[in-house]
Amino acid sequence: MTFAATILTLYPDMFPGPLGMSLAGRALAEGRWSLDARNIRDFATDRHRTVDDTPSGGGAGMVLRADVLAAAIDSVATGAPLIAMTPRGTPLTQARVRDLASGPGVTVLCGRFEGFDERIFEARGIEEVSIGDYILSGGEMGALVLLDACIRLLPGVMGAPSSGDDESFESGLLEYPHYTRPNEWEGRTIPEVLRSGDHARIAAWRKLMAETETRLRRPDLWERHEGVRVKPPSGARRQTKDA
């Protein structure tokens, strides 16, 4: 099945952009995913092809018009989930990416200027997604990030089918560190255990490293991971300090 990506943007020429190269580019050529980048401006109805207007109540910048956005959205008939890129949206996670990648595709609405007329979200049942706590100049980069993360999970895209399994976030932990030859470089050597050929010892070392890296670098992830591990059986009351 082909994963159908539809992008609604004022800059369709930004697609496939970097997704035309490497793994994603090959997968696109092979028909594992399809791309349809539509220009929101094509759905404007006036002579000047206006897509935005000044913010009601005043203030700087311009706001994308709900009627023009709706016409663009309504032109898409894939039935795939509809996502708008917004900084206030739900932060994108590997779990959501995996979910999307197993579906029919995704339609991504890319904002520009100050963003979207608020009424569009409820009127079209749009899911809002953020790629992080910083502000981009437009949603296109976010759409590329979202698509890249999905495409590498599609069947046949990554070289070895198992190569995604150990990846950071897949297990709720960061990944263990990697090394490759030469064995000695600038006086630094590869940890002895990795050259021992003892697969059980290697697996134990990797697990320990993944846990240590997560605890030190991402206490938030570690806490969640530990929370899942020590979760009481469902129905049982959770012990709290002040209980």
Judged by the rule CB under 6 A, the positions of this chain that interact with ligand SAH are: 85-88, 110-112, 114-115, 130-132, 134-136, 138-139, 142
Q: Is 202 annotated as a binding residue?
A: no
Give CA–CA dist 138/87, Å, rounded: 10
79 is in an annotated binding site: no
Least Å distance between CB 133 and ligand SAH?
7
Would you say 30 or 118 has its CB closer to ligand SAH?
118
* Residue 6, beta-bridge partner list: 36, 107
138 among annotated binding-site residues: no
For residues 127 and 211, what is the distance between their CA atoms, to the nearest angstrom?
Answer: 33
Q: In one letter, which amino acid is 232?
A: P
40 Cα distance to chain centroid: 22
Q: Which of 90, 95, 78 is nearest to 33 (CA)?
A: 78
CB of 66 to ligand SAH, least distance (A): 13
133 assigned ligand-binding residue: yes
Q: Which is nearer to ligand SAH, 8 or 151 (CB)?
A: 8
Nearer to ligand SAH, 115 or 172 (CB): 115
Q: How far is the CB of 128 from ligand SAH (least distance, A)?
A: 8
Burial class of residue 77, CB neighbours in 10 A (0-12, 13-18, 19+):
exposed
Say whether 131 counts as a known binding-site residue. yes
Residue 81 or 111: the one with the smaller Cβ distance to ligand SAH is 111
Give the shortest CB-117-to-ligand SAH separation in angstroms. Answer: 11
E strands within 42-153?
52-53, 63-64, 82-91, 105-109, 127-130
Known binding-site residue numbers: 111, 131-136
Annotated binding site for S-adenosyl-L-methionine: 111, 131-136
